[in-house]
Amino acid sequence: MEALSANIKEDLKPPRVNIGIIGWVRANLFNGVFNSILTIVMLFLLWKTIPPLLQWAFIDSTWLAGSASCRQSPEGACWSIISKNFRFIIFGFYPYELQWRPLVAMIILFSLLFYSRNRNNWKKSLGYAWITGLILMGILMKGGLLGLKSVETTQWGGLPLTLLLAVFGLTAAYPLGVVLALGRQSKMKGVKVLSILYIELIRGVPLISLLFMSSIIFPLFLPEGITINKILRAQVAIILFTAAYIAEVVRGGLQGMTQGQYEAAEALGLNYYLTLRLVILPQALKIVIPPTVSILISAFKDTSLVVIIALFDLLKTTQSVLSNPEWMGFSREAYMFIAILYFAGCFSMSNYSRKLERELSRG
Amino acid sequence: MDNALSEKVPFWLDPKKRSLIYQMFIFCMVGLLAYYLVSNTLTNLKRQSIATGFGFIQKESSFEIGESLIPYSAADTYGRALIVGALNTLKVSFVGIIFSLIIGTLIGVGRLSSNWLVSKISSLYIEVMQDIPILLQLFFWYALFYEALPSPQNSLSPFKGVFLCNRGAAFAVPAAHPAYKYMLLALLIGAITAYAIRRWARKRQEKTGQLFPVFTVSLGLIVVLPLFTWVAFGAPLKMNIPRLSGFNFVGGVTVSPEFIALFLGLVLYTAAFVAEVVRAGIQSVSTGQTEAAMAIGLKKGAILNLVILPQALRVIIPPLTSQMLNLTKNSSLAVAIGYPDFVSVANTTINQTGQSIEGVALIMTIYLIFSLSTSVFMNWYNKKVALVER
């Protein structure tokens, strides 16, 4: 009797099946008949796909041996297509003994990106650091200065080319996009019409038509004797294309500004340029940072389209490895590797964009 | 007084005149640039003795196209080849849009599911697909078809009547029978009647407040009427099953690996974006709306139809149309894997005739027509669903 009353005085614990792992599973996987069926179907599908995939990718796979031993074990993945051709896939036809130069350029780029992640570091000095970095990267790639051996742009390729097209594409497209957005908001009818025409025309056509234009029509535009190299032409096409999309994003930010901001700036006696520089753009561009990052992501992905006009970017170097009879038939492994590289790049950008969005909404 | 003031202001400080000068300057610059480019182009064309104009459209194309919706042979004109290409673009876009809408909606809803596993798998899918370039995905699916699938002789057959091999896929389809024509007619009649009933029911509800089970009746009309026709014709069951003859399948419907790779790539890629749009649309309707609708005693179906969907669709439709347009534009990447879409046919035409300017202009025009007609539709739709505020 005594023992019983002592028991009652204790706090009544929730039933064992409502807490801990069992509770979580019940609440999240088996709440209701429909969800239970769904869970079981999903588990079945996962069990059917994941173990064979792991078996293929890790257990039966060949990592370092040559293609001959890959062909002996066809049930596993052949990752040696990557390990054996790694430097060609990454650097393309860049002279073998000079490949440290694009490597250093990429390291500079990544460290700049890494440093710029923190918004507290966004100062004027960072802007100068970027400009210096970009120039340095250009010198490293091209050579011909400071005792570096000159490397023709036709030999550029692989990951450095992909990054170059994306980074320079965006840095040049951004100011152009801002100008176009301002043109579209302008009170001057003529400027407005021109901007709208440009933006809608570019956004209406696929990038590939612009790339075709750059590779086959652009040479016709130039006077006789002047040629511009292929990479630069593709770069211009990417810039013109991206600028139209940035313009639309920036326009969203400009429309978010209330009329009061303009009026207040006018009341202070600021002219158009100063109004934009000191009042409107700092606010408008801040609002549109997250959508700008998603433009950056799609610009990065879109650089892969230069394959079609036969520039040796990351995808094209991989394909040329695949067209080598020794490595023919291992496309899945090669494309998966490239996909992982692109995924890593895009995922870190979109993750960063989400983080930034949270920070900005907190104020 | 006013006049005197404006006379004193020099013209470069008068905003109106100044903006006029700016605009004239910009137009002059644009005009000069255009003149420079055009004159350069003309001299270059003359030097390389390339004829301009669209005369080549009438000439014999003398190249074959792998798949075509209309009869076509190498003896036909370039014009017809381009039409074949445009139809192929429309074909893959149309089928792709339907499937990406279905899959995307499922994944978008799955993303919000209370089932942890479903929601995690959906978000993983969205993240992975969005972050890999569509071109790479196309190459991957194409390579998968060519390398992982066996030759037609030992083709895989995952379901009865479906064959997969490195030459494409073959499906069994119902053998031709006059009943199908009438079934289509019955379906059409059912759909029109359902539409009429819906309008009538809405009018009656506005007048009398009485509800009419529109959904059940329409479903009945659309499903039962064709089914009834089918039974009336003796329920034909004969199937046209593909069988191997030599190195290829005959009978049934065969689909080329290029089409399947393009279709898979476009659908799986776009579905991820559609899923995000759908998720955002559903989340934009606050739970308070559902609760309020429940409080006034609406049934579950009515809540969805009258409260949630009208609000969610207003958010969903505009980005969704731009995704559909993106799919159509991305279908131009067909040129990379050899599916004969418009860009690919135009590219061949350019290579054969050297009419690069006309060819690229044609590509741009076709896509501009697509996107302009979409934006006309969008403007109409936005006006229709715009919030009417008092």
The CATH number of domain B78-121+259-385, selected from 1.10.3720.10, 1.20.1250.20, 3.40.50.720, 1.20.1300.10: 1.10.3720.10
B72 or A335, which is more confident? A335
Model pLDDT for residues A183-215, shown as the tens digit of each residue? 988 888 888 899 999 998 998 899 999 998 888
For B72-118, how does the pLDDT look when each residue is reduced to its tens digit (9 = 90+)? 887 888 888 889 999 999 999 999 999 999 999 999 989 888 888 88
Sign of CA dihedral B78, B80, B86, B89: negative
Structure confidence by residue, pLDDT tens digits, A204-244: 899 999 998 888 888 888 777 777 788 888 999 999 999 99
pLDDT at A51 over 80: yes
ipTM over 0.90: no
The yes-or-no verdict on residue B125 having pLDDT over 70 is yes
Distance CA B58, CA A314 (A): 41
CA pair distance A105, A98, nearest whole angstrom: 12
Tell me the average pLDDT across B352-363: 86
Among A284-288, A338-342, B53-57, which is the least confidently predicted range? B53-57
CB–CB contact B360 A213 (8 Å)? yes
List CB contacts (< 8 A) between A217 and chain B.
356-357, 360
pLDDT for position B104: 93
Average pLDDT, integer, range B244-261: 78
**pLDDT at B387 (0 to 100):** 67
What are the pLDDT digits (tens) for A122-139? 788 888 888 888 888 888
Helix (H, G, I), strand (E, B) or coil at A166: helix
CB burial class (10 A; 0-12, 13-18, 19+) of residue B381?
Answer: middle
Tell me how close the Cα of A192 comes to any Cα of chain B, in angstroms. Answer: 10
What's the longest Cα–Cα distance across chain B?
A: 97
DSSP string, B1-56: -HHHHHHHS-GGG-HHHHHHHHHHHHHHHHHHHHHHHHHHHHHHHHHTTPPPSSGG
**Does B131 lie at the interface with A, CB-CB under 8 angstroms?**
yes
B356, B366, B374, B378, best to mutate vs chain A, most A CBs in 10 Å: B356
| pLDDT for the residue B1 | 46
* Whether pLDDT at B169 is above 70: yes
Q: Which residues of B touch A208 (CB under 8 A)?
A: 332-333, 335, 343
| Surface of B (145-164) touching A: CB under 8 A | 146-148
CB–CB contact B40 A220 (8 Å): yes
Query: Within an 8 Å CB–CB cutoff, is residue B127 touching chain A?
Result: yes
Contacting residues of A for B132, CB less than 8 Å apart? 301, 339, 342-343, 346
Question: Domain residues of chain B, as ranges?
Answer: 2-46, 78-121+259-385
A31 has a chain B CB within 8 A of its CB = yes
Return the higher-pLDDT residue of B270 and B19.
B270
**pLDDT reported for residue B3:** 54
Q: Does A40 touch chain B (CB under 8 A)?
A: no
Query: Using the beta-carbon criterion (under 8 Å), do A222 and B136 form an inter-chain contact?
Result: no
Among the partner-chain residues A43, A206, A222, the one whose CB lies closest to the CB of B40 is: A222
Task: Give the closest-approach CA distance of A190 to chain B in angstroms.
Answer: 6
Task: Please name the residues in contact with A303: beta carbons below 8 A apart, sequence gap of 6 or more.
Answer: A162, A165, A166, A169, A238, A313
User: A21 in contact with B at a CB cutoff of 8 Å?
Assistant: no
Candidate from B45, B135, B372 with C-beta closest to A220: B45
- Measured distance CA(A63)–CA(A79) in Å, rounded: 5
Any idea where the domains of chain A sit in the sequence?
A: 13-72, 86-94+151-362
Geometric angle at alpha carbon B384, from B382 and B388, rounded to 5°: 95
B114/A28 CB distance under 8 A: yes
What is residue A321's predicted lDDT score, i.e. its pLDDT? 86
- The answer to whether B317 touches B281, Cβ cutoff 8 Å, is no
Cβ(B235)–Cβ(B177) under 8 Å? no
Q: Does the CB of A216 have a partner CB in chain B at under 8 Å?
A: yes
Name every chain B residue with its beta carbon within 8 A of the beta carbon of A194.
Answer: 26-27, 30
Q: Do B139 and A224 touch (CB under 8 A)?
A: no
Q: Band of the pLDDT at B390, cuts 50, 70, 90? A: low
CB hemisphere CA count around B218 (13 angstroms)? 14
> Which residues in chain A have Cβ-Cβ distances shorter than 8 Å to B368?
201, 204-205
In the prediction, which pLDDT does B285 show? 85
CATH of domain A86-94+151-362: 1.10.3720.10
Q: Which of B85-94, B149-158, B258-267 has the lowest mean pLDDT?
A: B149-158
What single DSSP character describes residue B156? B
Q: Is residue A2 classed as helix, strand or coil in its secondary structure?
A: helix
